[in-house]
Amino acid sequence: MPKSIFVTATDTGVGKTTVSAALAKILKDRGYSVGYYKPVETGCGQVCSDGELLSKITGQPLDEITVYRFTQPVAPFVAQQLEGEEIDINRLYAHLDSLQSKYEYIIVEGAGGLKVPITEQYGQIYTYADFIYETGLPVLIVAQAGLGTINHTALTVDVLNFINAEIRGIILNGYTGEDISEDTNPEVIAQMTGVDILALCSRSDTPVDECYYRLLGVLELIFDC
């Protein structure tokens, strides 16, 4: 079985794709085959930015990276209603199985946070937390470095603990050095959640490269290898 990780975040725009790209780049540079998987991407106008970025790193075609792509920048559940295409959860599972049979490492990235709705199944809203529960993938949390992150991160950990997910660690992203809470947040979050803060990525004009060097020393912890 390949080494796999699900990258989630405390909110949208926190830096999941930056962290995913940095991890993929490290693995590719070490000579491994890497499959990146974003089951659903929304907000695709002329391009799907997340998929396009990772495609350049992993060498995968876009159709292998993303099963469903929507134009509207909204949650997948809403996008499918607006655009008239129903998301089939079983198709998402089958595609994950296909990627796991092909690559040594798999990086799966959600959209927004854990409770973002994907579709409706058996009369219930199906979220990314449900996807993690059903697939049993271990999880890496990406959170903001600054003010407000304690609450968001603790709630994210609570949801993952509720579904008995394996949490590999937390990456704090977007450190500026200008917010006093950035210096105390790591210790408080670790104390409150019992989850290790693996790295602190600074805000940068080249965020993937910045995270690349921050994650080099913790790759084995993320993938438990």
Domain architecture of the chain: domains with CATH: 3-223 (3.40.50.300)
Could you report the per-residue pLDDT of 112-151, keeping only the tens digit for each?
Answer: 999 999 999 888 999 999 999 999 999 999 999 999 999 9
pLDDT at 219 over 80: yes
Q: Which whole number is the average pLDDT over 93-100? A: 97
Could you report the per-residue pLDDT of 171-212, keeping only the tens digit for each?
Answer: 999 999 999 999 999 999 999 999 999 999 999 999 999 999
Q: Which of 3, 16, 25, 38 is catalytic?
A: 38
pLDDT interval class at 93 (50, 70, 90): very high
pLDDT at 225 over 80: no
- The tokens describing 115, both together, are 């409770």
Could you report the per-residue pLDDT of 27-52, keeping only the tens digit for each?
Answer: 999 999 999 999 999 999 767 888 88
Active site residue 38: yes
pTM equals 0.96
> Counting Cβ atoms within 10 Å, is residue 90 exposed (0-12), middle (13-18) or buried (19+)?
exposed
pLDDT score recorded for residue 46: 67
